[in-house]
Chains A and B, each alone.
Chain A
Amino acid sequence: MHLFIELITLLFFLITVAHAVRHHGREGALFFATLLYLGGARETLVAVMRWLYGFAPLNLMLGPAPLIGAIIWGYSIYAAVVWAGGITGRSPLRDHPTANELSLAALFMITLACFYEPILELIGMAKWEDGTRRTWGIPWIALIGYPTLTVPFLWLWGRLRQLTGIKRFLVTAAAMTLLAAGHAAGLQWLKDGLGW
């Protein structure tokens, strides 16, 4: 079952990357490259530091983190961008996102948390810490975690894409590393503080 879910997710991720490149060209490819780095860095930190949740032994790994954990962020955030863009008529990928678009993307990611998390629990792919508070299989902290990675990412993306060349590469790499580390550590800190 795990391998089936991993392969389906990988296939959908690759189709989505192709879609982004088809519609946004080089910027679409860079968008996904950045998200792959962000997702990979964040899930690696979660695995290595034993924050938030543990992973079942999976078939496709990216270092210490499951590949599905690294790619699902890009797949989901791009879907949130497509949805928010469809509602507002602009593309948060091309234009600097407005507060309205960031709010819509956050709403979409909260909904995805409600969709993904109960399935992950049911099939045993992600194991949250003992005592994690949930409703309908949805960890409360995930309702904060999904949008709080998405909104800063989209805001940063809108800013950083104004840079060019090596400066853009270096500043983006630094910003995504800080975001990945700050998000994973901050969420664990918040979860402990709230007793969730």
Chain B
Amino acid sequence: MMAVDERAAVDLSALEAAASAVPDPELPVVTLGDLGIVRGVSLADDGAVEVRITPTFVGCPATEAIAADVRTTVAAHLRESGAADVPVRTRTEMSPPWTTDWISEAGRRKLADHGIAPPTGSARHTGGPVAVTLGRPGSGAGGFDLAPGGVQQPEHAGVGASASVGAADAVSASAADRAPGSADSAGASAQNNPSSPSPSPHPPTQLKRAAQVCPRCGSADTRELSAFGSTPCQSLRACRACGEPFGAIKSL
């Protein structure tokens, strides 16, 4: 058991601030606090300081490094405040599931300044079945709508002919966020247009995600090259205005 004066030396909010200030090992321009990775710090019954953290993507290879960095930082703080004997551990909590919605405004700005487009729109996935709308590009009337549960419904008139698949809420959220004449819908139809000037050899995804702005020139006229990039959290996009490719944090 710890002596009373050792217990008093443990300032939990200061430790949480310290843990939150730890830079992300893969994207060191943002901190764990910016990413919403630190859930909280508490004093366990056995006298140890326990930092609760959340994994981001299930297969994120930085998870162990993050936990180790957090333990090192918190232990250093305890030593400085004279509580060097206090054990430190991290606990991974998966629930509620991490979402890119937890990335702070400051974090989003830092990512953009670093050349990585932050996620846009709301992730808001309910975990329900995925709605799939399919249609031949340009046909307009040739598609059909598979609502969650697989019940076939005729595609309603006026819905664009592009195929889209993805979380129903993410689709509706991004559709609600943008006016019909937005850059991304123009981009989407250009993707489907066979005479588009620089068609990607890679099949363009038609998952209707909210437009992500070019971090170099600020244009919203960007297209997705691949949903998969250099890290599990990033997709690869290219700007039509300035031509540069850039990584973009996927909305999850």
Q: Do A and B come from one complex?
A: no
Residues of B within 8 A of A (CB): none
Residues of A within 8 A of B (CB): none
